[in-house]
Amino acid sequence: MAQFARKFRQIPLHLMLLPGVILVFIYSYLPMAGIAIGFQKFMPSKGMFGSKWTGLDNLHYMLNMPGIGRVVFNTIYIASMKIALGQIFPIVIALLLNEIVRQKFKKIVQTLIYLPHFLSWIILGGILVDILSPGQGIVNQFLGLFGVKPIYFLGDNDWFPYTLVVTDIWKEFGFNTIVYLAALTAINPSLYEAAYMDGAGRWKQTWHVTLPGMMPIIVLLATLSLGNVLNAGFDQVFNLYGPAVYESGDIIDTLVYRTGLVDMQYGVATIVGLFKSVVSLILISVSYWTAYRFANYRIF
């Protein structure tokens, strides 16, 4: 009887979840029926039920597409750099902010560095095009003071991937710093006092107390980020790249966009997206298992 009463009291909580569950079902699960397009020669005039089935022809076409290997490499290369540096920079900034004594100044710095997170890549794309312009851009004007020739950050294949990584880190590192600052507040202050009594300076306290105290959250975020290794950032790339840098900047998401919406090869675009989703599912599963294995993190 008591168990029934306890379950009855939880019914309002489950009802609160119902609108969210319905929205997820409508917008995330029902559209999965469209995966069938990947195995058809899809014709919009005939619809999904009237289009001709082609089996694995679209998959074979995708595997033989010119440059598909380069696109996959670009995606993994850019995403890996973003993941690695996206872990390092917030940790460093959090440690530096933790050393600031004046709380007012600390809050001002925090606000300034995580403000770019709330700006869309459409806005930042226009700003970066002007800032990085080889002719009138402020960055190249500054480099010109030291005799450096203008650099085509957004038009040179040698520079474009690293421009993507640097601008993405600049946009997101301030917001990610909040997580590590929260982890710092959980460290027992008595550990610092004990380290100080043993003669440890600020550097040794950071190395032997602060970093070990942050390690669980560092391991957790690092392992969970493995699932994003195929997400190189469509919004950013789409707003910054052009045909001149397809060789180094074209990623899976932009290939899907051009193949499906520009070239109207809907079946091929669907199979490319399905390929990415399957690989991402495997990577996410591995990352969650790793998070549970090394950081004792569980969803349920």
CATH number, residue 77: 1.10.3720.10
Q: Looking at the whole model, is its pTM more than 0.75?
A: yes
- Element spanning 76, H or E: helix 68-98
Separation between Cα atoms, residue 299 and residue 278, nearest integer Å: 20
Separation between Cα atoms, residue 10 and residue 62, nearest integer Å: 49
Phi and psi dihedrals of 152, rounded to 5?
A: -90, 80
> Residue 146 forms beta bridges with which residues?
none
Domain presence at residue 14: no
pLDDT at res. 15: 86
Domain presence at residue 243: yes
Residues in the chain, overall count: 300
Tens of pLDDT along 114-132? 888 888 999 998 899 899 9
Separation between Cα atoms, residue 185 and residue 198, nearest integer Å: 22
Domain that holds residue 110: 58-295
Asked whether residue 3 carries a pLDDT value surpassing 80, the answer given is no
Domain presence at residue 97: yes
> Cα 110 from chain centroid?
21
> Cα 217 from chain centroid?
17
Q: How confident is residue 162, by pLDDT bands cut at 50, 70 and 90?
A: very high
Domain presence at residue 138: yes
Segment 213-218 mean pLDDT: 82
> Cα 180 from chain centroid?
17
Locus of tokens 């009855």: 8
Burial per residue of 44-83, b for 16 or more beta-carbon CB atoms within 10 angstroms, e otherwise: eeeeeeebeebeeebbebbeeeeebeebbebbbebbbbbb
Torsion of the alpha carbons at 114, 117, 123 and 125, rounded to the nearest 10:
100
Phi and psi dihedrals of 88, rounded to 5?
A: -70, -50
Domain presence at residue 17: no
Number of domains in the chain: 1
pLDDT at res. 166: 92
